[in-house]
Amino acid sequence: MKADCALDDVKEAISTAKSNIESIKSQKTPTYENTIRALDRATMDLNRVWTYLNHLESVADTDELRCAVNAAMPLVSEFYSSIPLDSGLYARVADYAKTGEALSLKGSGRRLLDETILDFELNGAGLSADKKKRLSQIETRLSLATQKFSENVLDDTKRFFLHLKDKSELSGLPDNAVKTAAKKAAERNLDGWVFTLEQPSFVPFMTYADSDALRERLWRASARLASDGEFSNWNLIREILSLRQEKAEILSRANFADVVLCRRMARDGKTAMKFVEDLHAKFKRPFEAEWKALLNFARSQNLADSDGLIPPWRVAYVSEKFRKNKYDFDPESLRDYFPMDSVLNGLFEICRRLFGIKVSKSELDCLAWDSSVEMFEMRSESGGLMGYFYTDFTPRKSKRAGAWMNLLSPRDAETPALGVIAGNLSEPLDGKPALLSYDDVLTLFHEFGHLIHFFAMDSSEIGLRNVAWDFVELPSQIMENWCRDKTALDLFARHWKTGEKIPEDLYAKFKKSLKFMGANAAMRQLSFAKIDLEMHMSAAKFAAAEDINGLALDVLKGYMHKYSVVPPVILPRFTHLFGDSVGYAAGYYSYKWAEVLDADAFTRFEREGIFNSATGREFAEKILRVGNEIPPEKAFENFMSRGPDVSALVERSVDFADSDVYGGECAC
């Protein structure tokens, strides 16, 4: 797909979809095949074209491509929003639902019919003509506003870089970070070293650079992203919140959270908020105890300010010093054991042992958007082709931040699935392979968990190959557990030069440090979930606020520590919430919700063996494969023979036996 023909491709796909829908409406005798299944597949061409176009913009953004997306977006949004508002189409589905065939449906057919009717009911099929028109206008405007929000974050991120010329300013930085910075400078035809706001550059600098002034400079650049000037997102946040609340009211819902969550495990905003606040209560004491221990260490090392506190740009630096002091462990000491190819091969081997899937390099011409991109194929245990997927891990200015998996097109009949896992990970340097940080390794396992899930779903009905948003992170997050076990690490963690496994003494230090500041990491996620729900359950208050940042800080008291300098909230750059018409809006709690599920589900692997093939196959059968053919809570119960237990997550996150933090007392 190229930018100059993208708009025509979209228009053609919309035309095809419209014809498909008109064909459904013209059926004199509605059947499952010509009505329900036909509707489920009516937009497949458009889904594919629109997904491809948005994918390309996320990995190879250009002015031309961005213009094409923005030109097509109102057309696509208007069309998609028109489907559940089409009275004739709804009448045809309702007519079919009364037939003898419909009443006798079972299994996936019954489920798809019920889900289809619910789609219409929840998206305004019964509204008046005026309200339908307004709802369509809201969807179109939301698509444009959220697209602009994302563009502002990307553009503001790209324009900043920290250029250093004095080698003494690199004091404390790992060799890998220094070499990466030299490469970034060379790419800009500059001498010296360049650091950016991309994670592989930003995180090591904030963690290891000895210069407090330079860390402050980089932190302030990140903290103010999209919060002022031409790329400010504050007014877009106000508009997006107002539009979402108006949509909720048109649909007779109290707030946008209730609109979004009615088909997820939480069901409504109130339940999601209770989950967040209950988990907050469980982590509150260790959260405060960990911070007290960190501050005491900072003061003992003369790293605190005169008020005894530390500023936000010093937190990662002090934390790493504290970790080193407690465990004699530095995460950078693992990097040499994580060459990219070895990690990928180990990941594939773990999935072969657990789920029977086989992954190998594809012999097809990759035909990708960048020369660093590779293509792989995934086959089932019986050898059947499940799909192809791209890997794109190299940071680029034209690529959005973060890491993600995208299903570009689903498996259908004889056509394999096509997907991508993308991220901004460490790059090859000075003849060495790409040596990953431990966090990079977790990211790879996480995103591949998503890919396996979407490739494994095999319902005959395309519309049932999805799951509730607060369940979708279970298959991805559970994969991270294999990055913590020595037996699993020995499959892929080999020194890039010698092939040596991680030494036992180094692994022991790593293992002891896994829960370091764990309650603080959990509370950070809970703070995002809290402000997300507050904003989408009280949208009018936030939209009308002169100072949204100040209001958000008030809401988050008890979720944030006191610093010597008050950090702004993440909202203007929070693309999870405001970079898509829905995205993770009112749903950020899903990460912690699914983490409860993953920690609990992994206890079964711990009991039965982390490479127990029977357990792995059962997980694949009862969790990965089923999609939306059954409710997610039922899928979890089928695997665990009970509902979820939150205690596994708390135990995995917090070392209550740490006498330095708790003085020997249990903080349960």
What was the pLDDT predicted at 186? 96
What was the pLDDT predicted at 2? 84
Going from the C-alpha of 193 to that of each of 132, 162, 270, 400, 557, the distances in angstroms are: 55, 8, 49, 22, 39
Cut 0.85: pTM above it: yes
Which residues in the chain come in under a pLDDT of 50? Answer: 664-668
Any bridge partners for residue 435, and if so which?
A: 339
What was the pLDDT predicted at 254? 98
Q: Tell me the C-alpha distance between 369 and 390, whole Å.
A: 10
Using CB atoms within 10 A of its CB, is residue 576 exposed (0-12), middle (13-18) or buried (19+)? middle
What was the pLDDT predicted at 665? 46
Query: Number of helices and strands (H, E) in the chain?
Result: 29, 7
Which residue ranges make up each domain of the chain? 3-126, 162-224
Beta-carbon count within 10 A of 8 CB: 11
What was the pLDDT predicted at 97? 98
pLDDT per residue over 400-412, tens digit each? 989 999 999 999 9
What was the pLDDT predicted at 1? 72
For residue 429, the SS3 value is strand
What was the pLDDT predicted at 666? 39
What was the pLDDT predicted at 663? 63
What was the pLDDT predicted at 601? 98
The distance of Cα 661 from the centroid of its chain, to the nearest Å, equals: 31
pLDDT per residue over 167-184, tens digit each? 999 999 999 999 999 999
Nearest to 240 by CA among 589, 592, 574, 591: 574
In the β-sheet with 417-422, what is the strand arrangement from edge to edge?
358-361, 374-379, 385-392, 417-422, 404-409
Q: Tell me the C-alpha distance between 118 and 253, whole Å.
A: 15
What was the pLDDT predicted at 425? 94
Q: Are strands 374-379 and 162-164 parallel, antiparallel or unpaired?
A: unpaired
> Which positions are annotated as active-site residues?
447
What was the pLDDT predicted at 420? 98
Domain 3-126: which CATH number of 3.40.50.720, 1.20.1050.10, 1.20.1250.20, 1.20.1050.40: 1.20.1050.40
Task: Tell me which residue has tokens 């799909």.
Answer: 387
Q: Tell me the C-alpha distance between 510 and 489, whole Å.
A: 12
